Amino acid sequence: MGKYTLIVTEKPDAANRIADALDSAGKAERKVERGVPYYVAKRNSDIVVVPALGHLYTVAAEKKEKGQYPVFSYHWVPMYSAKRGANRTRSWLETITKLSKEADVFIDACDYDIEGSIIGYCILKYACGQKERAAKRMKYSTLTKEEIVKAYSEVLPQLDFALIEAGLTRHEVDWLYGINLSRALTAAAKNYSGRYATLSTGRVQGPTLSFLAARERSIKCFVPTPYWSIKAALVIGGSVFEAEYEKNPIRIKEEAEAVVNACKGKDGEIESIETKRLQQMPPLPFDLGSLQSEAYRLFKYTPMRTSKIAQRLYLDALISYPRTSSQKLPPAIGYEAILKKLGKTREYQALAAELLAKPELKPNEGKMEDPAHPAIYPTGNLPERALDSAERNVWSLVVRRFMAAFSGPSLQQTVKVIIAINGQRFHLRGRQTLAEGWLRFYKPYVRLEDASLPPMDEGQKVSVKQVVLEDKFTQPPPRYNPSSLLKKMEKEGVGTKATRAGIIQTLYDRKYIYEERIVVTDLGFKVTEVLKKYCPTVVSPELTRQLEEKMSEIQQKKETKENVLLNAIEILKPAAEKLKENEKVIGAQLTQALKNAKLDEKTVGACPTCHGGKLVIVYSRKTGKRFVGCTNYFEGKCKTAFPLPQRGSVKPTGNVCKGCGLPTVRIWMRGKRPWNLCLNPECPAKTK
């Protein structure tokens, strides 16, 4: 093989699809060198397509001084030289370098976004011998054959250097924040306790944890106040309907009781009937955030899981590029062709045919636009392999959302009936769907339950079955879940569409938070308190938002990378100094929080015998076996203990057994499904 074109892609699956699409016979030759797959496609000239493994280069300190901070001197290095467990990337880079020697044309075909642009740029610059300025750029939003061939034939003459500059700045700023703040926390705890524990924070992680800590504090400090609600059971047309008192909620009990007393033994009369017709427009096409939120609402998939599923569907050429913030579907994607392909399946045949019969296909679009990619849409391709249930759910969701965007509005009729009972007014509401419109296309992912009312007339007498006074208490603000936290981050401008899900997962991994309805741990609180006390500016959402704006300005060539980095260092320097000055105090606080965190991980529940101690998972030094014992054992106050299985992992569930009321634990064993185990060997539920 003589000279050839070298195309660099982000992932192996993408390389395979691109090579097959560009090969004249539709099947490129697969080769492997040192475990690295690459593909040779025959076209007018030879094309070699080689994949990366995501990021092959990263930012690292110029001097390897473990744990030292502050550090402001850095450079870009191969991943294997900076991170443990990344040795595989060495052979990857060496293979790419070898393949670049005989290439005379270079094309970056990594995903067209900030991360993909950095991956391609670094490979071309460092592994291919400074070829970043000579390289061309393929831009595509799906991995369908048609779009790949089009992107290759209309290849852009150069890389998008403004996008690359913004991406490099974000990585470098995030590294500066992360390395300095994380090292400060880790060093404080280690120097105080003599034990190493991984503690981290950063430009996005800090503000996100602050949102959660603020909500947790408001929940813990919340004092419920009583209020009262009045409802009337009315008999209309032989059926009973529930009407709400017009002044609910009522803050003074005497007022509520006076209303109930006034209504006793009285009939009602219909004062007015107000009917409205409401159009509900079709939903907007998915961007990544709305797809993640919807997948959580429907399937309880975390944002990170949804992002990974969507990426697999993209690599299978089933959906367009998912990491987009766009709510636009341009005509260039080929509405009609996509619907015709989808119509080949039994599930979507009738719905696709209905849309294709419309005189014009025009989607309902939102305001948000992404310069790199349109909203997420199905390519029309059908699965070439069996999708697992999660993949099928997300694919179906994207397909139905796409079709719903092209359908008509739904039409609902609402009825508001005002009933007077001895001068006290009650509201009765009804709703009826007159035209399904887009609802039919989006089933089963949306439900509108009609609440029909019988025919009524103004002045009509109504029998009052009873009037009920309900005692209630105000509720604390709800806890964030991964979906609502994602929306909060979007609203506050913290993080990017590509990084938010990963930040949330990191908070779980660091044991700063737990549970689906997110609870902040003592460790999470302490990290937030330390940062807010000693460097509040660094973890403020305002600073993070300003930096994001600066990076957008770099992309628009209104700001420079150098200015943004200098500004970041100016903010970080005094923050790092303040943390170092107070290292002992911070270390003591973090060490105690880490101890509490470890105890919480082992705590199963309250001791049922002494009621003062806690049941914790204990390992015996003598026997090497584990069991659950009371913390008061060490003080000679309680000898309560329960056996545990000696194989597999054990974690507290936080729940009690319904059979006997003792705490339960979750057991994981290799080759078996996890199960909950009641600690009580004589639990009545075990003998059934």
CATH code where residue 387 lies: 1.10.290.10
Domain CATH for 183: 1.10.460.10
Structure tokens at 314: 């993209």
**321 is a catalytic site residue:** yes
Same structural domain, 414 and 392:
no
| 212, part of any domain | yes
Nearest-10 Cα torsion for 162, 14, 374, 150: 90
Indicate if 274 and 340 belong to the same structural domain: no
Amino acid at 2: G
| Partners of 241 in the β-ladder | 234
Provide the Cα torsion 169, 170, 173, 179; round to 10°.
Answer: -130
**351 falls within a domain:** yes
Please enumerate in sequence order all residues whose Cβ is within 8 A of that of 151, keeping only pairs 6 or more positions apart, or say none.
109, 138, 139, 140
| The token pair that represents 618 in the structure block | 């204990």
- Regarding whether 541 and 497 lie in a shared domain, the answer is yes
Whole-number pLDDT of residue 1: 65
Determine contact, residues 352/340, Cβ cutoff 8 Å.
yes
Asked whether residue 195 is domain-assigned, the answer is yes
| Same domain flag for 182 and 207 | yes
Residue 520 lies in a domain: no
Sheet architecture: strand order including 603-606: 603-606, 614-619, 626-630, 641-643
Residue tagged active-site, from 321, 335, 445, 512: 321
Q: Which of 406, 426, 456 is the last residue of a domain?
A: 406
Judge whether 48 and 99 are in contact, CB under 8 Å. Answer: yes
Residues 190 and 254 grouped into a single domain:
no
Which residue range is the domain that position 316 belongs to? 288-406
> CA-to-CA distance for 52 and 93, rounded, in angstroms?
8
Residues 6+ apart with CB under 8 A from 576: 69, 70, 180, 181, 184
The residue whose two tokens read 């100016």 is 570
Domain-embedded: residue 511: no
- Examine the domain organization and report whether 423 and 300 are in the same domain: no
Residue 573 lies in a domain: yes
Domain boundary among 406, 434, 450: 406
Q: What pLDDT is stored for residue 687 in this prediction?
A: 61
Q: Are 644 and 626 in contact (CB under 8 A)?
A: yes
Q: How many CB atoms lie within 10 A of CB 305?
A: 19
Predicted pLDDT of residue 651: 85
What does the DSSP assignment read for 85-116?
T-THHHHHHHHHHHHHTTEEEEEE-S-SSHHH
Residues 6+ apart with CB under 8 A from 622: none
pLDDT number for residue 469:
96
Q: Tell whether 26 and 152 lie within a shared domain.
A: yes
Beta-carbon contacts of 144 under 8 Å, excluding residues fewer than 6 positions away, are 21, 317, 379, 381
Are 16 and 72 contained in the same domain? yes
Q: What's the CATH number where 36 sits?
A: 3.40.50.140
Number of domains in the chain: 5
Taking CA atoms, 135 is separated from 106, 138, 363, in Å, by 5, 10, 36
Please identify every stretch of the chain with a pLDDT value under 50, giving residue numbers as ranges. Answer: none
User: Do 141 and 89 belong together in one domain?
Assistant: yes
What is the CATH number for 258?
Answer: 2.70.20.10
State the pLDDT at residue 402.
98
Instruction: Tell me, yes or no, whether 28 and 153 share the same domain.
Output: yes
Cα 586 to Cα 67, 185, 213, 600, distances in angstroms? 16, 8, 18, 21
Residue 613 lies in a domain: yes
Contact 285, 363 (CB under 8 A): yes
**Rounded (10°) CA dihedral 606, 612, 617, 618:** -170
String of b and e for 231-268 (b: at least 16 CB within 10 Å)?
bbebebeeeebebebeebebeeeeebeebbeebeeeeb
3-state per-residue secondary structure call for 223-234: CCCEEEEEEEEE
Q: Look at residue 468 and give its three-state secondary structure.
A: strand
Q: Is 447 exposed, middle or buried (0-12, 13-18, 19+ CB in 10 A)?
A: exposed
Same domain, 147 and 71: yes
For residue 620, the model assigns a pLDDT of 85
- Report if residue 453 sits inside a domain: yes
Q: Does one domain contain both 10 and 105?
A: yes
pLDDT score at 334: 96
Of the three residues 571, 594, 617, the one that is the final residue of a domain is 594
Q: Please tell me the predicted confidence (pLDDT) of residue 675.
A: 86
